[in-house]
Structure 1
């Protein structure tokens, strides 16, 4: 069986809310043949925003605080106006792609917005991720799924990821890690009350 050529990128997607505010959300998006597929869960702010305004910005950043902050309620990051779409580019972005939705498959539990790149720019060089940055991104994915996965599985995976943060984390990675651990502890406390 032929395998479809596709890549998944962990990015920060910015969309425009109904009141004109920029909404930042971490997202794994697919790249296929030069186009992107954005597949937000339903219901979600990203889904609502893209349904209303079919344009968005893909932000590529190595500041993992944005990933951790987006899943722990710290969504307000400085932005500047996009060039060709209505939306915002994160000031922390090393590069960005501006997308326009060309097709929507409105399926459950995730919709699939097929997007065409209409503008791209590089702002600063990408020097690569250290292990702590990769660990923080993986931990952010786990925290975003606290309500979906067994808590003991999450604890095991976080314990393993902690090793990379201990070995290679700098101040930004540690700040992001602490935000995520606060969220895990808060969730655990709420679960114990119920």
Structure 2
């Protein structure tokens, strides 16, 4: 099972990096598998630390993949050399236990060394789940057929229409704009998507 989270890391100079990433659990260990190239991977290798952030603010997911908003407030982590999202519901601080190198997608086995809860979880919202799925689609536009993206976006739109609040509508707007921009780049002379 893969859990969609926000991973925060810090560069050697303390600069924070925020990235959506799926995490798996093996007992007390968290497994991360970032694709190369990856700032998250570089930061973890250098600092041997990362933080999993548990948030229902899906603007963070959408903002990161669309590059519409990437400067989310952070605070210093409690026990590791890193940062956490200031507005997360909870976070888990991780230390690198093992790196299984790979040219495409290394596997990082991280040991949880500290957990904190900051706010209660209010429950699931279908629009939040739709935004996370939409953000995943945006991150894979380069490899998905347009008709598949269109079918999935049409289905996800139902949850947005029925259950979205302001934050989810903002995030959904970023996602739909990113898809439109991707298609415009493909249709332009040269047909290359950035």
TM-score range, shorter chain: over 0.9
User: Which stretch has the larger CA shift, 69-78 or 113-122?
Assistant: 69-78
| Counterpart for residue 186 of structure 2 | 191
The 5 A counterparts of 1:38-187 are 38-73=32-67, 74-187=69-182
Q: What is the RMSD computed on CA atoms of the aligned residues?
A: 1.0
Tell me the distance in 2 between the aligned counterparts of 1:108 and 1:158: 32
Number of aligned pairs?
188
Tell me the distance in 1 between the aligned counterparts of 2:151 and 2:12: 39
TM-score (norm 2): 0.94
How far did residue 72 of structure 1 move?
1.2
Structure 1 ranges of 4+ moved more than 4 A: none
CA offsets 1:28-86 (integer angstroms, 9 cap, x no match): 10011121001100112112211222100000000000110110112110011100011
Tell me the distance in 2 between the aligned counterparts of 1:177 and 1:135: 9
CA offsets 1:96-154 (integer angstroms, 9 cap, x no match): 00000010001132110000000000011111221000000000011011112112211
| Counterpart for residue 12 of structure 1 | 6
Tell me the distance in 2 between the aligned counterparts of 1:109 and 1:50: 16
Gaps of 5+ in 2: none
> SS of the residue aligned with 1:162?
helix
Gaps of 5+ in 1: 1-6
Tell me the distance in 1 between the aligned counterparts of 2:22 and 2:121: 19
Tell me the distance in 1 between the aligned counterparts of 2:77 and 2:12: 17
TM-score (norm 1): 0.94
